[in-house]
């Protein structure tokens, strides 16, 4: 299969990035293939610090050969001279497993008829911090510097690792490639009940059937929660869900017929993201959940953009005030103002990440916020009366 045929098969498969944004993979691959230069890099992003996501670790631990084959297909067909597997430093088993496959492959190459040994393979540990997963921060980490996102342009496709054209793909995206090559793009796209292909998702520990599952894209969210996930261990009814990690908007029961795919979830104000699914039962304090989400992004910000520092800190601080019973109508009204003043002003996508969960949470759990505010107002009134 030549480069043109390979790109055509990926296009037919409809493969989209599994690292979170869901960008059509073929667009990046094609642009990379036509970049000039002898030295070009493929970086396989296995940093996976997203809370609840385990799919990349699972693939590297249990299907490292598939990940390696996918990377070799991409490198051979798109003209990468180097492949870098960037793995979270805390995923010891994943690092061992991919290293083992790389060594075994290098040994197989000695004396093989069709030699791929001109593709240099590297396995590198990268720090266990959320921002390291952002592709340009990852490149900084691989170059031995502090992982902070780079300003764009230039984009990594033009000037990435060590200043050469670089294609960055998530581990799962890469793992789909051998199957597209083996069975063809059309076949890959029609896998699954809804004919939209398959994706890995991680169901949180709160599910009866927790863990990593290969699921058809396009099934109703309800089917995922109660059919595949078998509901909550606690036996509670599920009242809210984040289907794509902490940056995805909250869905509530009226949204559960929505399809589990990029387009439908985005239309419902949420996202497929990296498909780390968290579900919340009827007894959950949703304001506290929102505090945890906002605090995660506050801690995850690398701090180089003042607007991101300000936005993530203020959102977390306001939500903490509510959780502590010190909310007010004025504080509630500050939230959209903080977002509007900052959101498009960051170097990387992290600055946008708390927006969907905070805004959908405010809208969907408004009653809980008002109750806290109401309680506070009532206690202030009581204090005044008793004073
Ligand atoms: C704050 C932040 C964290 C990210 N973390 C990850 C990650 O852990 N793994 C990942 O594959 N992509 C992550 N991404 C997305 C990457 O920047 C990049 O888009 C992705 O690795 C490209 O691969 P794909 O096209 O196969 O999805 C993150 C992005 C941002 C803004
Ligand atoms: S937007 Fe936030 S996380 Fe991204 S580079 Fe700026 S400060 Fe760092």
What DSSP string runs through 321-348? HHHTT---HHHHHHHHHHHHHHTT--SS
Band of pLDDT at residue 381, cut at 50, 70 and 90: very low
Where exactly does CATH 3.10.20.600 map onto the chain?
203-281
Q: Give the pLDDT confidence of 43-64 residue by residue, as tens digits.
A: 999 999 999 999 999 999 999 9
203-281: CATH number: 3.10.20.600
Look at residues 161, 159, 120 and name the one whose alpha carbon lies nearest to residue 139.
161
Nearest-CA residue for atom 20 of ligand 1: 19
Is a pLDDT exceeding 90 seen at residue 335? Answer: yes
Measured from the alpha carbon of residue 15, the closest ligand is 1
Q: What confidence score (pLDDT) does residue 7 get?
A: 98
Q: Give the pLDDT confidence of 341-377 residue by residue, as tens digits.
A: 988 889 999 999 999 999 999 999 988 888 877 655 4
Nearest-CA residue for atom 3 of ligand 2: 301
Global pTM value: 0.95
Cα-based distances in Å from 278 to 123, 224, 250: 31, 11, 10
Helix (H) or strand (E) segment spanning residue 240: strand 238-242
Query: Lowest mean pLDDT: which of 167-171, 190-194, 235-239, 367-371?
Result: 190-194
Q: What confidence score (pLDDT) does residue 10 get?
A: 97
Q: What mean pLDDT is predicted for residues 77-86?
A: 97
Q: How many CB atoms lie within 10 A of CB 105?
A: 18
* Per-chain mean pLDDT for the chain: 93
290 Cβ contact partners less than 8 Å away, ≥ 6 residues apart: 319, 357, 358, 361, 365
CA end-to-end span of the chain, whole Å? 83
Is a pLDDT exceeding 70 seen at residue 117? Answer: no
Closest atom, ligand 2, to C-alpha of 346: 1
Band of pLDDT at residue 108, cut at 50, 70 and 90: confident
Asked whether 21 lines ligand 1 (CB < 6 A), one says yes
Q: What confidence score (pLDDT) does residue 376 get?
A: 56
Q: What confidence score (pLDDT) does residue 386 get?
A: 45
Q: Give the pLDDT confidence of 259-310 residue by residue, as tens digits.
A: 999 999 999 999 999 999 999 999 999 999 999 999 999 999 999 999 999 9
* More confident of the two residues 166 and 21: 166
Q: Tell me how far the alpha carbon of residue 266 lies from the centroid of ligand 1, in angstroms.
A: 18
Q: How many CB atoms lie within 10 A of CB 198?
A: 18
Contact 316, 298 (CB under 8 A): yes
Asked whether 135 lines ligand 1 (CB < 6 A), one says yes
Asked whether 353 lines ligand 2 (CB < 6 A), one says no
Q: What mean pLDDT is predicted for residues 225-239?
A: 98
Q: Give the pLDDT confidence of 200-220 residue by residue, as tens digits.
A: 999 999 999 999 999 999 999
Band of pLDDT at residue 385, cut at 50, 70 and 90: very low
336 Cβ contact partners less than 8 Å away, ≥ 6 residues apart: 359
Where exactly does CATH 1.20.1440.230 map onto the chain?
286-386
Q: What confidence score (pLDDT) does residue 289 get?
A: 96
286-386: CATH topology is de novo design (two linked rop proteins) (1.20.1440)
User: 3-188 architecture in CATH?
Assistant: 3-Layer(aba) Sandwich (3.40)
61-66 long-range contacts (CB < 8 A, ≥24 apart) are 61/91, 61/93, 61/94, 61/97, 62/97, 63/175, 64/94, 64/97, 64/98, 64/100, 64/101, 65/101, 66/175, 66/178
Q: Tell me how far the alpha carbon of residue 133 lies from the centroid of ligand 1, in angstroms.
A: 5
Asked whether 348 lines ligand 2 (CB < 6 A), one says yes
Q: Which of 10, 18, 19, 302 to mutate to test the pocket of ligand 1 (most atoms within 8 A of CB)?
A: 19
Q: What mean pLDDT is predicted for residues 113-117?
A: 63
Is the bond leading into 326 cis (omega within 30 degrees of zero)?
A: no
Band of pLDDT at residue 379, cut at 50, 70 and 90: low
């Amino acid at each position: 299969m030549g480069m043109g045929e390979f790109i055509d098969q990926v296009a037919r498969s409809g493969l989209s990035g599994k690292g979170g944004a869901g960008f059509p993979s073929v667009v990046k691959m094609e642009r990379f293939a036509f970049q000039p230069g002898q030295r070009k890099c493929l970086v396989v992003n296995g940093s996976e610090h997203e809370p609840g996501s385990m799919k990349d670790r699972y693939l590297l631990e249990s299907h490292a050969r598939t990940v390696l084959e996918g990377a070799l297909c991409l490198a051979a067909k798109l003209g990468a001279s180097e492949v870098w597997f960037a793995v979270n430093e805390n995923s010891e088993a994943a690092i061992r497993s991919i290293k083992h496959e790389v060594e075994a492959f290098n040994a197989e190459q000695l004396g093989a008829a069709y030699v791929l040994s001109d593709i240099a393979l590297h396995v590198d540990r990268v720090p266990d911090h959320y921002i390291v997963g952002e592709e340009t921060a990852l490149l900084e980490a691989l170059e031995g510097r502090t992982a902070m996102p780079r300003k764009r342009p230039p984009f990594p496709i033009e000037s990435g690792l060590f200043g050469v054209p670089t294609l960055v793909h998530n581990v799962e995206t890469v793992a789909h490639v051998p199957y597209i090559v083996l069975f063809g793009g059309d076949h890959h796209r029609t896998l699954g009940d809804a004919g939209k292909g398959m994706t890995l998702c991680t169901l949180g520990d709160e599910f009866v059937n927790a863990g990593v599952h290969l699921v058809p894209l396009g099934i109703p969210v309800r089917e995922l929660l109660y059919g595949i996930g078998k509901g909550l261990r606690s036996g509670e009814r599920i009242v809210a869900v984040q289907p794509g990690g902490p940056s995805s908007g909250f869905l509530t029961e009226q949204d559960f017929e929505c399809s589990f795919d990029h387009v439908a979830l985005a239309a419902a104000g949420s996202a497929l993201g990296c498909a780390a699914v968290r579900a919340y039962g009827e007894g959950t304090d949703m304001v506290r959940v929102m505090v945890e989400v906002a605090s995660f992004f506050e801690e995850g910000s690398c701090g180089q953009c003042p607007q991101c520092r300000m936005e993530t800190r203020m959102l977390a601080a306001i939500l903490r005030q509510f959780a502590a019973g010190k909310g007010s109508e004025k504080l509630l009204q500050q939230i959209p103002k903080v977002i509007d003043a900052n959101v498009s002003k960051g170097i990387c996508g992290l600055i946008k990440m708390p927006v969907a969960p905070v805004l959908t949470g405010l809208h969907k759990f408004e009653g809980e916020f008002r109750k806290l505010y109401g309680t506070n107002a009532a206690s202030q009134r009581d204090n005044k009366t008793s004073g």
